[in-house]
A = this chain, B = another copy of it.
Amino acid sequence: MIKGVEGEITEISGNEVTLKAGQFYLNILCSTNTIKELSLSAKVHLLTYLSFSADRAPEIYGFKDRAEYNVFLMLLKANKIGPKMALKILSATSPEMLQKMIASKDISGLSRLPGLGKKTAERLVSELYDLVKDYAVEFPKELSDVSEDAVGALTALGFDMTSAKLAVNEVLKEQTVENTQELVRKALRKLNKTR
């Protein structure tokens, strides 16, 4: 019903923002990403989702960025994922990374996100894969074995599969490598930089 609100930020506390719209001060729940982009007295237009249930006051979820908003709406399509859980997931990773993890069926990576257990990770992949498959991280055909081994080594070091794949892919795009060890070493340097 209410897809967006325009107003002035009068308070930011944790993941809650107070937005003055006309005479009303609205309490809006936001992800960490959105909170980072907001500041007191700023005039903003937030994309909103109105969550309604029979015995509780409605809650408004707000997003600065369209991509995050769309991924939020996508998450709600999965069974047993309500707005609070969707916001929690979006506060743990970027919308793009999340889509890549689902598209890469990276159950272990997803399960490591705060609040997300293995079951929920599996449900996200099984119910949302078709909506995000274009985000799958592909390796150049001829180098897939070397890459797969490198990703294996990196995930053994504790990195989630999707980040490992992205780092390996980045190295392969920038330069040729002699062997898996060199690939792992260079990918590792990238991963440590983005930690």
Contacts and interface: CB of A to CB of B under 8 A. Distances in A.
Interface residues of A, number: 29
A23 B54 CA distance: 26
B54 A55 contact: yes
A95 interface: no
Copies of this chain present in the complex amount to: 4
Contacts of A54: 54-55
A2 interface: yes
A2 B26 CA distance: 5
Contact of A22 (B20, B22, B48, B58): B22
A3 B22 contact: no
Interface in A44-66: 45, 48, 50-60
Interface of A: 1-7, 18, 20-27, 45, 48, 50-60
